[in-house]
Structure 1
Amino acid sequence: MTTATGWAALLLGKNGLRSLALAGGVALHAINVYLVTTILPSVVKDIGGLDYYAWNTTLFVVASIIGSVLSARCLTGLGPRVAYAVAGLVFALGCGLCSLAPDMGVLILGRTVQGLGGGLLFALPYSMIRLVFDQALWPRAMALISGMWGAATLIGPAVGGVFAEYDAWRAAFWVLIPVTLSFVLLASLILPRKTTEPTAKAPVPVVQLVLLTGVVLAISVGSIKPSPLFNAVGLLAGMLLLYAVWRVEGSDRHRMLPQNSVRTGGLLLPIYLSMSLMVMGMTSEVFVPYFLQVLHLQTPLVAGYVAALMAAGWTLGSLYSCGLSREAANRAMLVAPLLVVTGLALAGLFVPQTSASRVSLGGVSVAMVLVGTGIGLAWPHLLTRILANVPDAEKDIAGASITTVQLIATAVGAALAGMIANLAGFTSPGGVAGASSAATWLFGVFAALSALLFITVRQVLRREAVPNGTSVPLMADEPLTAEKPE
């Protein structure tokens, strides 16, 4: 008997409802990310809390990491139907808290709850694909779910921008609640109650999660006061905790990453470092809507879409790059650091300008696209090298590590961005002068940090893991397949 493999088999009938439920969960998480980025300047204008601007992203992402890591345990312990329902209800609760927030402290609490539910909604669908679809449909299901991030760059800024322009940012959170509950209802009707697969309980890397939370909190707390000494202490504490994560990950049997991932001289370490540097560079987009509204006098809608150009560039770069041969992929990877650094440098030039001219807005837009495109050119090939260079027994943890590293880098990058911005005058003196200074330092420091990609990407291209754990040069004529980033 032949199993249908086309899009019709995935999108019609009962499979269509299953696809809607799984893709909807990821879409909710992704749209929420860009929605909040767009409305946050309006939120701060209404309830204050500019000092904690970046905390909305850092704690959201930290909670998302925890939710993503716990998703496997929830799926095996609760079953697909209940696990999805729990994720949706937690996310809806977070939306409610955000919508009622009288001050920034309550808003950050709501964002943390949102992040926990969002992390579950983000990770569960990828794990459920093998449970609800025939194997022949898995590639298309993966592509459909991954494509929700592209859709989110169009929907999130539009929804957030409209509510922000009408000074109704609370309604942006309210509107997510019935949408979330509708997906929960659909999932309760269409997803299986239990999994039929015999699965072992995956150990939770508790120590690493606690330490990573400490890393982000240390840097975030250090960014509260615009004092170089206070910032330095917070940054030093964060780096020491990050070193502790590296030591524990290298020895603990409950690992987040494949074996030998943190071993110097191996292939996986420069791959993960390259991924982290790229994602950290992208976290600068968190502040772009604020800068564009304050410095360039743009509307929330326009500012949200300009910030989303980074994600759009990432998607376009990935689509172009994912079908390249090994030799062409290697060239694309070498170009990627140049585009990322150039884009951040251009942002450092155009974003701080106090001008509403089309030239300055165009310069910012080009900068956003360059950063995203550079990441997209290299990202598929970094991911495939991870999956291609670990033993079969490590494939599951290697796949999960992609999302984990991406989320960790986002959290650390956002915390670092908040520290740099506050130290450069974002909150004191604040206003136009503070925003301009903060933009100059933020993009300048991130451009310098991203310059390390010239080293790490070249290290990736020079090594390829072999069974005995040593490294050999990559062969330029070897074929390379790639998949779109999540």
Structure 2
Amino acid sequence: MSQQETGWGALLSGTNAIRSLALAGGVALHAINVYVATTILPSVVKDIGGIDYYAWNTTIFVATSILGSALSARLLGLAGPRGAYLVAALIFALGTLICGFAPSMPALLAGRAVQGFGGGFLFALSYAMIRIVFPETLWPRAMGLVSGMWGVATLIGPAIGGIFAEYGVWRAAFWSLAPVAVLFAVMAVAILPGRSPDRNERTTVPVLQLVLLIGAVLAVSAGSVSPDPIHNLLGLGAAIVLVALLIGVESRARNRLLPRGAFRPSTALGALFATMALLGVTVTGSEIFVPLFLQVLYQQTPLIAGYLAAVMSAGWTLGSISSSGAQGKGIDRAIFAAPLLSFVGMAALAVLFPLGSGQDWLLLAPICVAFAAIGLGVGIAWPHILTRIFKAAPADEQDITSASISTVTLFATAFGAALAGMVANLGGLIDPGGVTGTASASRWLFGLFALAPLVCFLTVRQVARTCPVKNSGAAIAVEPGAA
């Protein structure tokens, strides 16, 4: 197998280059929108009101993204790759226009729901298309390219939102995304195949599981926005109960939300999904409050704080792209690096952040190194974890597997964000607040979230046992029956 067949040149040349742009662009569009909305939301509230529903902009967007992601296999089966991607891009564009013209917060929330639905489709379909339009030898590099778009979005999204917000035209931030979505729709029609090779796959929608999953997201999100610890615990408890019910229903269901073995940690899929979820929670919990901590504890401007926080995503992007060509035992080493670097980075942040007392770059420099370590560790492992999920999944559930990657990722994002809010609030962010409360909150947040990569050490060991590498090629082989 030549380097030309497995290298970046094969992925980024000819027809593959256009396909790569379309698929990576779908994830980038979804991700950039997340950061644009976060940046302009304070300006939105000043203009149309609705401060009481501030957090629901994220909650509704993530919940409908999960719904779209979970339904993507159904859409792919009905419309084929070309039609599915076209529908997803147009739904996203419609939601974007609704947001841009929204006269009130309820209307904006309706637009965010439509946006999230289309974005969830785009997110899941981008991963699903990789195994359809590229040869297996290019899967790891394609995974690395698509995963790396979140890092790109973190650099671009705040800049787009910040510029429009600075000039008082927040609506234009939404409008600017609509023509880009239409462009990707046109590209999909031009270069994606009309039919999927998996036409025989079952695509029945698992309605009950979706209700339980989205209910868990809404429960933990609703509980996290309250400063009352009782409400926090009730929301978390309700989410845990709903997830337990989901596991029970999924284990007996004929129409599943996730592929067989996904909820059993002793299987290859169970270990891989657990690893992916733990790493997702780690990054989300680390990232969500970083700009606030930098502004309060280190007196950085919002713009500088935003871009310092982006060091973590830049590390993720660099790690994903640089490790995507790993082969043989190098793949196992990449996966084991994720919890190690993440734990070291989180532990360093737990120690360094509370020491802040002004613009002290002697502390900010190692903090940025810790950000980079966390992002780099997850990025190095991410494309190989996703590729192994595809390889470990049952052959008749590849579409479900494609959708489940984004479903689990989005759920981990929502759960991590909500849990981070809960820990920060209980750690002193609101009471006593100020510098003292923020320092205490940072210590509790990073200290507790360092437990996630510790648990991840156990899951990656299980991955190594159940997903042994059988050759040194770019494609990853799994022992038959491991799933």
TM-score interval, normalised by the smaller of the two chains: 0.7 to 0.9
The amino acid across from 2:210 in the alignment is L
The amino acid across from 2:288 in the alignment is V
Scaled by the length of structure 2, the TM-score of the pair is: 0.81
Distance (Å, rounded) in 2 between the aligned partners of 1:435 and 1:164: 26
Cα deviation code 1:127-175 (max 9, x no counterpart): 45677x5869975766665554443343223323433444554432232
Specify the alignment match of 1:217 in structure 2.
218
Specify the alignment match of 1:87 in structure 2.
88
- Note if contact 1:381-1:482 (Cα within 8 Å) is conserved in structure 2: no
Specify the alignment match of 2:238 in structure 1.
237
- Range that drifts further, 45-54 or 418-427: 45-54
- Note if contact 1:277-1:409 (Cα within 8 Å) is conserved in structure 2: yes
- Note if contact 2:82-2:193 (Cα within 8 Å) is conserved in structure 1: yes
Match of 2:450, SS?
helix
Deviation at 1:236, TM superposition (A): 1.0
Structure 2 counterparts to residues 28-427 of structure 1, below 5 A: 28-40=29-41, 55-78=56-79, 83-99=84-100, 107-128=108-129, 145-146=146-147, 148-166=149-167, 168-185=169-186, 187=188, 190=190, 195=195, 199-200=199-200, 202-284=203-285, 285-352=287-354, 353-427=356-430
Cα deviation code 1:12-43 (max 9, x no counterpart): 5x876666544433321122233334445665
Cα deviation code 1:80-136 (max 9, x no counterpart): 5554443233323333444456776655443332211111122334445677x5869
Distance (Å, rounded) in 2 between the aligned partners of 1:106 and 1:290: 28
- Note if contact 2:342-2:374 (Cα within 8 Å) is conserved in structure 1: yes
Alignment CA distance shift 1:389-1:182 (3 Å): closer
Alignment CA distance shift 1:447-1:23 (3 Å): closer
- Note if contact 2:40-2:161 (Cα within 8 Å) is conserved in structure 1: yes
Deviation at 1:240, TM superposition (A): 0.8
Alignment CA distance shift 1:329-1:58 (3 Å): same
- Range that drifts further, 205-214 or 173-182: 173-182
- Note if contact 1:343-1:368 (Cα within 8 Å) is conserved in structure 2: yes
Distance (Å, rounded) in 2 between the aligned partners of 1:336 and 1:126: 21
Cα deviation code 1:286-345 (max 9, x no counterpart): 232333334433333322322222222122223443444544443444343221122122
Deviation at 1:185, TM superposition (A): 5.0
Match of 1:451, SS?
helix
Cα deviation code 1:403-447 (max 9, x no counterpart): 222222112112222222333344556555554443333222212
- Note if contact 1:214-1:241 (Cα within 8 Å) is conserved in structure 2: yes
Deviation at 1:259, TM superposition (A): 1.6
Is 1:464–2:466 an aligned residue pair?
yes
Unaligned runs of 5+ in 1: 466-473
Distance (Å, rounded) in 2 between the aligned partners of 1:439 and 1:304: 17
- Note if contact 2:299-2:359 (Cα within 8 Å) is conserved in structure 1: yes
Distance (Å, rounded) in 2 between the aligned partners of 1:360 and 1:345: 14
Specify the alignment match of 1:454 in structure 2.
457
- Note if contact 1:54-1:415 (Cα within 8 Å) is conserved in structure 2: no
Distance (Å, rounded) in 2 between the aligned partners of 1:206 and 1:275: 24
Unaligned runs of 5+ in 2: 477-483
Distance (Å, rounded) in 2 between the aligned partners of 1:345 and 1:168: 41
**Over aligned residue pairs, what C-alpha RMSD do you find?**
3.7
Alignment CA distance shift 1:442-1:130 (3 Å): closer
Identity between Structure 1 and Structure 2 (%): 53
Deviation at 1:277, TM superposition (A): 0.8
- Note if contact 2:85-2:188 (Cα within 8 Å) is conserved in structure 1: yes
Specify the alignment match of 2:442 in structure 1.
439
Alignment CA distance shift 1:293-1:47 (3 Å): farther
- Note if contact 1:63-1:112 (Cα within 8 Å) is conserved in structure 2: yes
Match of 1:452, SS?
helix
Distance (Å, rounded) in 2 between the aligned partners of 1:43 and 1:432: 27
- Range that drifts further, 253-262 or 52-61: 52-61
- Note if contact 2:212-2:246 (Cα within 8 Å) is conserved in structure 1: yes
Scaled by the length of structure 1, the TM-score of the pair is: 0.81
Alignment CA distance shift 1:460-1:307 (3 Å): same
The amino acid across from 1:315 in the alignment is T
Distance (Å, rounded) in 2 between the aligned partners of 1:299 and 1:168: 21
Cα deviation code 1:346-392 (max 9, x no counterpart): 33334453523323432332222111112123334433443343443
- Range that drifts further, 133-142 or 442-451: 133-142
Alignment CA distance shift 1:173-1:196 (3 Å): closer
The amino acid across from 1:199 in the alignment is R
The amino acid across from 1:362 in the alignment is A
- Range that drifts further, 427-436 or 151-160: 427-436
Match of 1:424, SS?
helix
Match of 2:289, SS?
helix
Distance (Å, rounded) in 2 between the aligned partners of 1:142 and 1:318: 8
- Note if contact 1:337-1:454 (Cα within 8 Å) is conserved in structure 2: yes
Alignment CA distance shift 1:107-1:294 (3 Å): farther
- Note if contact 2:144-2:321 (Cα within 8 Å) is conserved in structure 1: no
Match of 2:222, SS?
helix
Deviation at 1:214, TM superposition (A): 1.0
Alignment CA distance shift 1:147-1:408 (3 Å): same
Match of 1:24, SS?
helix
